[in-house]
Amino acid sequence: MLVIVAPGQGSQSPGFLQPWLEDPTFAARLEWLSTVADLDLVHYGTAADADTIRETQIAQPLLVATSLVAALGIFPHPTDAFNRVGAVAGHSVGELAAAAGARVITAEQAMVLVRERGKAMAAAAAQTPTGMTAVLGGDRDDVLAALERHGLTAANDNGPGQVVAAGTLDQLAALAADPPARARLAPLSVAGAFHTGHMSPAVGRLAGLARSVSTHDPRTAVISNRDGQVVHDGREVVRRIVDQIASPVRWDLCMETMLDLGVTGLLEMPPAGTLTGIARRAMKGVETFALKTPDQLDAARDFCARHGEASVIETTPTWRMVVSPSKGTFHLDDAAREAAVLPVGAAVGAVASLRDRTDVTATHGGQVVEWLVEDGDLVSPGQPLLRLHPEGIG
C-alpha cells in the first residue's frame, strides 16, 4: 500500500525549486498558484535567500504549492491517484496539500488558506520572540520532563528519538543550558513556536475563513496530525487543520496508523527528505522515496505503480460511507443497530483500543443500507463500517 506525505515548514532551502521551473509546464502551474497566493513563488523558490524563505508567510505557501505542483507531475489526472494512493498525510502545513490531494478542497482553496494561515501565524509569532528546537535522542521520559521543567511544549512528536520543543527564546536558551541526558539539540529554521498556545490568535482568523470553504469527503484516507486517526468527513478535515495551528503534531501516531493500514511504500513530496528520514528510523521494512527533483519523476511513478492500490474508501454520488477512525474493536451502538434511518450526527458506535476509545457518528446521516461489520469485529483505520443512502435521493 502506498502513502504519500507532504513536508512541513523548515524543509525548504534556497533555490530548491530551480530544477522544477526549467519545465514550462511546472513553471506555468506555479505561476498560477502564485497568483492565487498573491506571492511571487517563482522568485522565492529560486532566488531568495534562506532568511527570506524562513519567514512564515512565505515558507508556508511555497511548500504547499510545491507539493501540489509535484503531485501533478506524478499523477497528471487526479483519477490516477485514486487508483494508486491508499492514504495521505501532511506534516503541519503539509496537511493542506494532503487535503487538496484527497480532493477535500481544491488547490486554489488550499493556497488561499495557506496564504492566510502564514500571515496569521506570522502575526502571532511577532507578539513574543519564540522558536522551536529539535531534541534528538535521549530517553523519551527524560526529554518530556526537561521540556516541562522549562515551560516548553512538545510541539511535534516525530517518533522515537525526535521531539520538537517550542516556546519562548528564553525558555529554549534554558533548555540548551540544561539539556536532557544523551540528547542533541538542533534549533529549527522557523519563525515561531508553532503548534503551541502562542499560535492561538491565528486559530480564530483561520476558523472564520474556513467556515466559508466548501468541502468534499475525501476520496483517499486522510490521516490527521492531531491523533493519527483517519478522517472521512471533509468539514472535519478542515476543522482539524485549523485547530492544529495551536495544537501539537503527533506524527508518531500518524506513522502508527500507516503501519496499521499495511503501508509498504511511502513517498514524500518535495522538498523531500525530512519525513522519509523519520520513516526509515520508525517504520522498519517500509520502502521510502524522497522526491526532490523532476528527473526523479519516472522513478517516482514506478514506485507508485509497485506499491499502489486503491484506498479502502469508495465513494459514489448517492452513497455515504462511515469509516473507522482507527485500529481497534468496533462496538455497535444499540440504537443504531435497530435504526432504518440515522439522523445527522447520530451515534454509530465506538472503536476501542488499548490506548483510547473513539466514538463514531453518522456525520451526514441517511438511510441504513448495509452494515459492513458486526459488533465486536476488529477493524483497521479507514475500514468501511456502514453504507448510508442520503435521504431524498432516489
Active site residues: 92, 195
Question: In sequence order, which ranges of 15-168 are alpha helices (DSSP H)?
Answer: 24-37, 41-46, 50-54, 56-74, 78-82, 94-101, 107-127, 140-149
Provide Rg for the chain, Cα atoms.
21
By CB neighbour count within 10 A (0-12 exposed, 13-18 middle, 19+ buried), where does 293 fall?
A: middle
Residue closest to 266 by CA, chosen among 222, 308, 325, 311: 308
DSSP per-residue string spanning 123-139: HHHHHS-EEEEEEEES-
How many whole angstroms separate alpha carbon 353 and alpha carbon 334? 20
How many whole angstroms separate alpha carbon 82 and alpha carbon 25? 22
Find how far residue 123's CA is from the centre of its chain.
Answer: 23
Question: In sequence order, which ranges of 157-285 are alpha helices (DSSP H)?
Answer: 169-177, 200-210, 234-243, 251-261, 274-282
**Joined grid coordinates for residue 382:** 479507514
Question: From edge to edge, which strands make up the β-sheet containing 328-332?
Answer: 357-362, 346-352, 328-332, 378-379
Count CA atoms closer than 13 A to 349's CA, side-chain side.
Answer: 28
**Joined grid coordinates for residue 172:** 529554549
- Residue 182: other Cβ atoms inside 10 A: 11
**Beta bridge partner(s), residue 114:** none
N-terminal to C-terminal alpha carbon distance within the chain: 35
Bond into 271 cis (ω within 30): yes
**Beta bridge partner(s), residue 3:** 87, 266
